[in-house]
Amino acid sequence: MISTVTTTTVSTITTAVGIAASLGLMAVLTLIVFLAVKELAGADGRPRLRALGRALNVGIIPLLLVFGAIAAAKVVEVL
């Protein structure tokens, strides 16, 4: 009985870590795309694109916080 519970627990934790790593990768890639679009939109003189660049801050700021948390966790993991 205990070995079955232990095996199930290890399997669940391994799956959860894999999903968390995938979500972290998706967040970082989304941040890169948002930052690139913001730069391109800000460089154009059209008002609509400049407004888009400002509106992207709504998504960029939380993603920067997530990126900081991921980076901090990796640094702590290495130390």
| Residue 60: C-alpha distances to residues 1, 11, 35 (Å) | 48, 34, 7
Give the structural domain span for 34. Answer: 20-78
Model-level pTM? Answer: 0.75
pLDDT of residue 56: 94
Would residue 58 count as lying in a domain? yes
Would residue 25 count as lying in a domain? yes
pLDDT tens, position by position, 19-66: 778 888 899 999 999 999 999 998 888 999 989 988 999 999 999 999
Would residue 11 count as lying in a domain? no
pLDDT of residue 48: 92
How far is Cα 12 from Cα 6, in angstroms, rounded to an integer?
10
pLDDT tens, position by position, 22-31: 888 899 999 9
